[in-house]
A and B are shown apart, each in its own frame.
Chain A
Amino acid sequence: MRKKQNRTQQPEIDRRTFLTALGWSGVGLSGLIAALGNLLYLKPAVEYGPPTRIRGGKAKDYQEGIKEVLENERVIIVREKRGFAAISSTCTHLGCTVRASDAGFECPCHGSQFDNDGFVTGGPAPRPLDWYQVSLAPNGELEIDKSVKVPPETYFKV
């Protein structure tokens, strides 16, 4: 008696609703996977840009207090008493190229100003200029690795 009642009662989810939901879940899931695959495909996998390691000439050719601007590489090599530093000339605000000024560096785009160590002294730049790792190649040339950032005021002694 009880069994029969159960059979005639409408279940909360009938077979059609369940199978339809199952089908659409499959469609949705495969759509999601396809979308993810497409996103991964478009994510840049290989860097085709210019090399990150650059040479900056013989270390002994640099005099104290010099600021050597490598325009294409967008790096400024500084030689001080404390040693060598490679400071990025890419402004931390919106990526323009800063130029050397009397007080340090300044950006022509939106007027950010930096001191000799790349710390912000004015304008909209949110953080100091990047410092890159400097090392000495076996032949006495300076080597700058733009993929390795070092904290400001990290000088390389020769």
Chain B
Amino acid sequence: MPITAEMRETARGKMHAESFSSRFKVFWKNVYRSLFRYGRMPRDAEGQSYAVFNNLFLHIHPVKVSKHSLKFTYTLGLGVIATILFLILTFTGIWLMFYYFPSATEAYNRMLDLRSSVDFGFVLRNVHKWAAEAMVAVVILHMARVFFTGAYKPPREFNWIVGVILLLLTLMLSFTGYLLPWDQLAFWAITVGTSIASYAPVLGEPLRKFLLGGDTVGQEALVRFYVLHVVILPGLMSIFIAIHFWRIRKDSGLSHPNENGSSARGGAT
């Protein structure tokens, strides 16, 4: 049978269609493989390890966890709660920034607008406020837990220091955020708070001027506290949280009762 031009055309069309779908499949497989190199749900232990290692959101988890660490009453999840509160505060804080204005004449009105006029403004503001208060409490409780379980002992001394820095940053964020509603409570709290700082020997008075940008709580103080509250302190906080988590892994996970100082040291997971 002679091959006609028409037959040739159909064959070419069919081939073309086939190759498109198969090429798309290959393409999709490549994309998928570049995202999840070890499959979605590997069955074997090795594959599972690699799946965790190679996922940004999962790599924070160790591949192996001691059974003891999973017992809820050992940590009460306080570190995780503090982290989640920090995330909540970051997101609600960014959302509040769309309406808030660090101006001595506008700030208080913007706060009132958020409370009364902006849809869901009161929710965001209150979530931010309560999460902030909860974070101070939870960070202190977390510190107490670490102390009572002896988790500050070698090899975790450095992470305890990082934790102390995180506590101080939490308190500074709490203090700087307190001025922003620009009401009487905020004004006098910061007046008294910065006066307390000025009692420190030698550096006290310069520190007070540095924080307030002047002698009294005014526009300059509001801007300085705002920049500290929304950029500098959260940025430092993120860096130290990263170091804190990284150190947990490098110090072979959470403390457990059976480890002794010498065998636990240097055992990175």
Q: Is the CB of A12 closer than 8 A to any CB of chain B?
A: no
CA distance A85 to B218 in the complex (A): 27
- Report whether A49 and B215 are in contact in the complex, using a CB–CB cutoff of 8 Å: yes
Q: Which residues of B contact A (CB under 8 A)?
A: 188, 191-192, 194-196, 209-210, 212-216, 218-220
A102 at the interface (CB under 8 A from B): no
Whether a CB of chain B sits under 8 angstroms from the CB of A103 is: no
**B210/A44 in contact, CB under 8 A:** yes
Residue A34, interface by CB 8 Å: no
Beta-carbon contact of B220 and A44 below 8 Å: yes
CA distance in complex: A109, B219 (Å): 24
Least CB distance, B202 to chain A, in whole angstroms = 15
A42→B188 CA distance, assembly (Å): 24
Give the interface size bracket for A toward B.
Answer: 10 to 19
A96 touches B216 (CB 8 A): no
Name the residue in A42, A44, A47, A50 with the highest tally of chain B Cβ atoms < 10 Å from its Cβ.
Answer: A44
Residue numbers of A with Cβ under 8 A of B are 42-44, 47-50, 93-96, 109
Given A44-B209, A94-B196, A95-B195, also A49-B188 (CB < 8 A): no
**Contacting residue for A47 out of B191, B195, B214, CB 8 A:** B214
Contact A42 B192 (CB under 8 A): no
Partner of A49, one of B196, B210, B218: B218
The interface residues of chain B lying within 8 Å CB-to-CB of A109 are 188, 192
User: Could you tell me the distance in whole angstroms from the C-beta of B232 to the nearest C-beta in chain A?
Assistant: 11
